[in-house]
Amino acid sequence: MEKRKIGSLEVTVVGLGCNNFGWRIDAQATTEVVDAALEAGINFFDTADIYAGGKSEEFLGRALGARRGQVVLATKFGMKLDEQRNGAKPAYVHQAVEDSLRRLGTDYIDLYQLHTPDASTPIADTLGALNDLVKAGKVREIGCSNFSAAQLREAEAAVSPSSVSKGAARFVSVQNHYSMLHREPESEVLPKCVGAGIAFIPYFPLANGLLSGKYRRGQPFPAGSRGSDAFGPKIFTDENLAKAESLANFAASRGHTLLELAMSWLASRPAVASIIAGAKTAAQVKANATAADWRLSEADLTEISRLL
């Protein structure tokens, strides 16, 4: 599988999002998904301390076991776990990483990401604490998530070029919502990433499953699918279902699936490093792993833009 860079890290263009672990699937199913990902050549695994209240990290750590060194392991901190565990103040950064290391069963994290901006803490303070973790060998690279271009600029300004040249850590990635049906990053964040050499990691690449190809207008949602969960009414609108149908027809005319179109389109976007795709079964992992192999032509991209 093609590999791309997140700072010094080399990651597969398709990664495994581990947000299902611990609540949508149990420990055994988690192990099956992780096994399938490794067999398919995926090396980038992304989780967060808040997923299933820490169980995602625990289940992922157990499933990897002795294979931990074979993967690029990413996790996130900063969203509210409880009244004491939230935010990005330096003291909590040090506590959060120790908690994640314990749950993951490892002594280092490859990519440690601030899950959401913390308006109550100067970003320079947070970056200082994260730099301490890098110097201590507990973290290899640092990133952020759900940041705007203005917030990326603020973080960039907080780390002087001279300190970076001396080895100070800076955000090497941003992980934001991006899909064919959610194009917001294109206005400011993606151009900022291109200009600053920041890797972009899309989450919700399949629009919460709408672009997986299993939904059709006028048909009931499959049992247990995302269409009936809390996100459903926001994403599974008539307009989006119509777009998905048009895109599916376009993909079929080229001998591909809607899933392959959604993943390959993201892989063609500037600054995108690894596409975080969740999975509940080994079969889903295998399908995701090969879905970004389609090299879209300029004519394809023009037609896709028209359809969207």
The residues that are catalytic are: 51
Distance CA 23, CA 39 (A): 24
CB 126 within 8 A of CB 139: no
| 153: Cβ contacts below 8 Å, ≥ 6 apart | 192
> CB 100: neighbour CB atoms within 10 A?
24
158 alpha-carbon distance from chain centroid: 25
Is the Cβ–Cβ distance between 199 and 173 less than 8 Å?
yes
Reference 143, options 72, 199, 70; nearest CA is 199
